[in-house]
Structure formats: C-alpha cells, structure tokens
Amino acid sequence: MPATPDIPAHLIRRPRQGGLVVPWITPATPDGVALFGTVSDVAQHDCLLRSLCQICRQPLSRRAVLFARASDLGHACTAEPALCPPCAAYSRHACPMLAGRRTQYRATGHPALAAMPEGADAALRRAAPAEAWFPVWVADYDVVEHPARPGTLAASWQRMPPLRIRPL
C-alpha cells in the first residue's frame, strides 16, 4: 500500500502535508502544521450537526460512511463525523490509523499541541491500543451524546439501521 495514495479530484485544492490531504476537521498550529489524529470539538460539532463530510466539508448525500471502532459498535454510534464515499475511499488508504500502519495511538500529545486545548476525546485515545475500524454505511444518522464518553457528541445509527457494516 503506497503511503501517499492518489488524491481524488474533489480534494485537489485541499492543503496537503507530507503528501496527504489535510482533512477539513484537522486543526493546525498557528504556523500551519496540521495536527493529524486530533480533532477540534468545534469542527467535530460543525460536521456532525450540519451533516458535512469531515474531509472535504461538502454536504453529505444519502450515502455516507461513519468509521467506528470495535468499542463503538455496541453503542451504535461514533464520535467520528461522517465522510462522503470518495473521501472514505481515500482515507482508508491515506489515514495511518485506518490503513493499519500504526498499532498504537500516540502516547503523548502531538508536540505542536502543547499550547492548544485538548479535545474531549484525546485523553481517552491516548496510548490505547489501536482498535479495528469498521466503516458503517448510513443513509442518515442522529446526533447523540456518546454513552461511553459523557460530553462527547456522536453520530448514531441506533434508530436507522445502517446499509452495511464490514471490518476494514
């Protein structure tokens, strides 16, 4: 698997770092270093509540992908905002966690993150073993509070059965 997969046409104009498209949801330091693997709460809420793709920020159509960890499946929700299908296809090869190139979450915060507020999810992820990911294809989702993570919004498919769930 190449480390820098081909970039889909609709993402050509997005900023890149290390050959990878920087997702819209990914925060950056004041001098522009993208903090891959972190998510700002504001951006996460914006994507979830307005049904926007977390990579390209386009409105989602009737087919979207939620990337859920094994531990999310029992709750039928994930804190990761949805992706449009082309961004999901790109991300499963480009994102080190999804592509299985990293076996553990970073044990400490990103070095460039020292001056930035930490997202609600960050402490939970830190140094946890990397879990398997499951793309959950949905036509729609509800925004709920994640049952296992008080204060964290999540996209839920509890009320609307997903179109498909299959491990990566």
**Which residues of the chain form contacts with Zn ion (CB under 5 A)?**
53, 55-56, 84, 87
Report in angstroms how near the CB of residue 55 gets to Zn ion at its nearest: 4
Spatial CB neighbours of 19, under 8 Å, sequence gap ≥ 6: 3, 4
Tell the smallest beta-carbon distance from residue 81 to Zn ion (Å). 10
For the chain, state the CA radius of gyration. Answer: 15
Q: Closer to Zn ion at the Cβ: 82 or 113?
A: 82
Helices (H), the chain: 41-50, 70-73, 85-94, 122-125
In angstroms, what is the minimal distance from the CB of 14 to Zn ion? 10
For Zn ion, give the closer residue by CB, 25 or 55.
55
State which residue, 56 or 79, has the beta carbon closest to Zn ion.
Answer: 56
Rounded Cα–Cα distance for residues 154 and 59 (Å): 17
